């Protein structure tokens, strides 16, 4: 039996929620990145509620997630029931209940509890929303990493967020992504429904680059890892998934396509096998089954082959499936192969969420995005290996290719036009990120404190501030390049002083 132990940011979130209830907030949203431990926070809240003699329930988006949450409660030795008539753990008398939204809606009832916790609350269900609004004494906590659905502000009256993705990467709770901009599914002129490309259109067009998806995966996994590594593939539809699985299998790799049409027991068995450390399954393929709730931390590669026109939430959720840390393993990063165009399509929104988190609802991110131009797509990737080009860097973090800063000139309809901005756009440096890189160099490269402090001063014209934390983070390519150039400059200066007797 494991002990339920929370990180400081998790305890802080729980305390903020309690303050919210004390201040009259009735329905609150806990926003925290995928992989930050929202389930653990929910379990701690339910355990505290049950300890006071009150009933509580966690409402999940899918029936399959009920068993996953029940197993997590078992891990911590917490008595509970699963609200399904034919479930072996149907114990309505328990203070803690696990329910699926589908089951409750089918029964036409909702759990009679003091505290209701709603997982993936950005998926707004009409009956659940009505239940919240009509039960004024009910306390509600919604859990999500992506609170961008229009209408959430009409249901929830407070947002609690205590940690960002960037901070969790720095703490090694999550791992950073190495992104590759691969051959993209062409969605020009494709039909849309509700502002989003239809599955049928995405499937038909996705099948045209199936061979490229397989070839890119083989190249990257062997170049980076020297062997196949566990992979999730987000495909455009059922037929596309079957086509991908067949092509992978033809190349000797065991990829399995799954969909909502498959029997529940078969899907459970596939997931159980895939979760094993020595699984014989190289990859799972599905359209949206694994976008939410999947928790298999040793997945190393994600393949995005389902284009989204506006669903920023789905894009973030999918990336979150592979960024979970896996303590005790060799997982220090994860690889994202983007065949959908989603990474560049949502890049500005993702950069904002990654660095600053979310502290409001209905902020308008779920809108159809303007497509990047072909020039912007080419400028965003390394011309040699197609890795995402790090903003502000002169060198590719993946292959080391150096690209000179220059004004790009191109011709449109016979008119010569100069782009005023260079390909490499200068951006601000983050002091904590830089100092964390210095701490890493001291721990792993044997740097002295003085060298690290001097390099920090050379970059920021001041010494390390006392509020910066000594959290080691492997230096980015641009910090390594800055350190290298700084050292070369110092060596040239020393040579000059020696030659001139100074």
What would the two tokens of residue 409 be?
């000139």
Cβ atoms of 141 and 341 within 8 Å: the answer is no
Residue 375 has pLDDT above 70, yes or no: yes
Q: What is the pLDDT of residue 364?
A: 61
The chain-wide mean pLDDT, for the chain, equals 87
The whole-model pTM stands at 0.76
Q: Mean of the pLDDT values across residues 264-292?
A: 91
Q: Is residue 134 classed as helix, strand or coil in its secondary structure?
A: helix
Domains 8-163 and 168-372 share a fold: yes
Q: Which of 372, 320, 317 is nearest to 341 (CA)?
A: 372
Q: Average pLDDT, stretch 195-207? A: 87
Q: Comparing C-alpha atoms, which of 5, 108, 119 is closest to residue 68?
A: 119
Contact 281, 270 (CB under 8 A): yes
Dihedral over Cα of 222, 376, 338, 350: its sign: positive
The reported pLDDT for the residue numbered 258 is 93
* Residue 165, pLDDT score: 94
CATH superfamily of the 8-163 domain: P-loop containing nucleotide triphosphate hydrolases (3.40.50.300)
Q: At residue 154, does pLDDT exceed 70?
A: yes
Which two tokens mark 62?
A: 């899918």
Specify the DSSP class assigned to residue 290. Answer: T
Q: Are 206 and 237 in contact (CB under 8 A)?
A: yes
> What confidence category does residue 246 fall into, taking pLDDT thresholds of 50, 70 and 90?
very high
Q: pLDDT tens digits, residue range 300-337? A: 999 999 999 989 999 999 999 999 999 999 999 999 99
Q: What is the DSSP letter of 360?
A: -
CATH number (3.40.50.300, 3.40.50.2300, 3.10.20.30, 3.40.440.10) of 168-372 reads 3.40.50.300
Sequence spans of domains, the chain: 8-163, 168-372, 431-499
pLDDT at residue 415 tops 80? no
């Amino acid at each position: 039996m494991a002990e339920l132990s929370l990180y400081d940011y998790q305890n802080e979130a729980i305390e903020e929620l309690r303050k919210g209830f004390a201040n009259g907030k009735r329905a609150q949203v806990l926003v925290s990145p995928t992989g930050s431990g929202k389930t653990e926070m929910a379990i701690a809240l339910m355990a505290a509620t049950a300890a006071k003699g009150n009933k509580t329930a966690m409402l999940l988006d899918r029936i399959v997630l009920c068993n996953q949450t029940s197993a997590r409660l078992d891990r911590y030795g917490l008595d509970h029931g699963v609200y399904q008539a034919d479930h072996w753990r149907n114990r309505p008398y328990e203070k803690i209940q696990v329910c699926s939204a589908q089951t409750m809606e089918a029964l036409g009832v909702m759990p009679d509890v003091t505290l209701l916790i709603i997982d993936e609350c950005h998926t707004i269900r009409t009956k659940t929303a009505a239940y919240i609004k009509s039960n004024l004494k009910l306390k509600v906590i919604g859990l999500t990493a992506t609170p961008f659905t229009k209408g959430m502000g009409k249901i929830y009256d407070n947002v609690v967020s205590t940690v960002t993705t960037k901070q969790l990467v720095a703490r090694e709770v999550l791992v950073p992504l190495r992104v590759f901009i691969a051959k993209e599914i062409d969605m020009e002129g494709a039909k849309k429904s509700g502002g989003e490309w239809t599955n049928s259109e995405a499937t038909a067009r996705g099948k045209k680059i199936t061979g490229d998806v397989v070839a890119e995966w083989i190249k990257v996994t062997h170049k980076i890892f020297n062997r196949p590594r566990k992979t999730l593939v987000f495909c455009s539809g059922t037929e596309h998934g079957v086509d991908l699985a067949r092509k992978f299998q033809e190349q000797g790799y065991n990829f399995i396509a799954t969909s909502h049409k498959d029997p529940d027991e078969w899907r459970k068995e596939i997931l159980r096998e895939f979760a094993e450390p020595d699984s014989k399954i190289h990859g799972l393929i599905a359209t949206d089954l694994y976008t939410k709730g999947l928790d298999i931390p040793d997945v190393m590669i994600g393949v995005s082959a389902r284009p989204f026109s506006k669903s920023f939430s789905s894009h973030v959720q999918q990336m979150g499936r592979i960024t979970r840390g896996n303590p005790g393993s060799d997982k220090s990063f994860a690889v994202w192969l983007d065949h959908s165009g989603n990474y560049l399509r949502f890049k500005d929104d993702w950069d904002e969420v990654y660095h600053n988190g979310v502290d409001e609802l209905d902020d308008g991110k779920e809108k159809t995005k303007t497509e990047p131009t072909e020039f912007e797509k080419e400028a965003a990737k390394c011309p040699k290996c197609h890795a995402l080009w790090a903003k502000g860097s002169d060198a590719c973090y993946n292959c080391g290719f150096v690209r000179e800063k220059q004004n790009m000139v191109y011709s449109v309809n016979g008119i010569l036009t100069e782009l005023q901005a260079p390909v490499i756009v200068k951006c601000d440096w983050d002091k904590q990120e830089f100092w964390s890189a210095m701490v890493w160099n001291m721990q792993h490269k044997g740097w002295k404190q003085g060298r690290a402090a001097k390099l920090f001063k050379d970059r920021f014209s001041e010494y390390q501030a006392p509020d910066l934390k000594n959290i080691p983070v492997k230096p980015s390519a641009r910090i390594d390049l800055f350190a290298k150039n700084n050292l070369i400059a110092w060596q040239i200066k020393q040579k000059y002083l020696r030659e001139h007797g100074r």
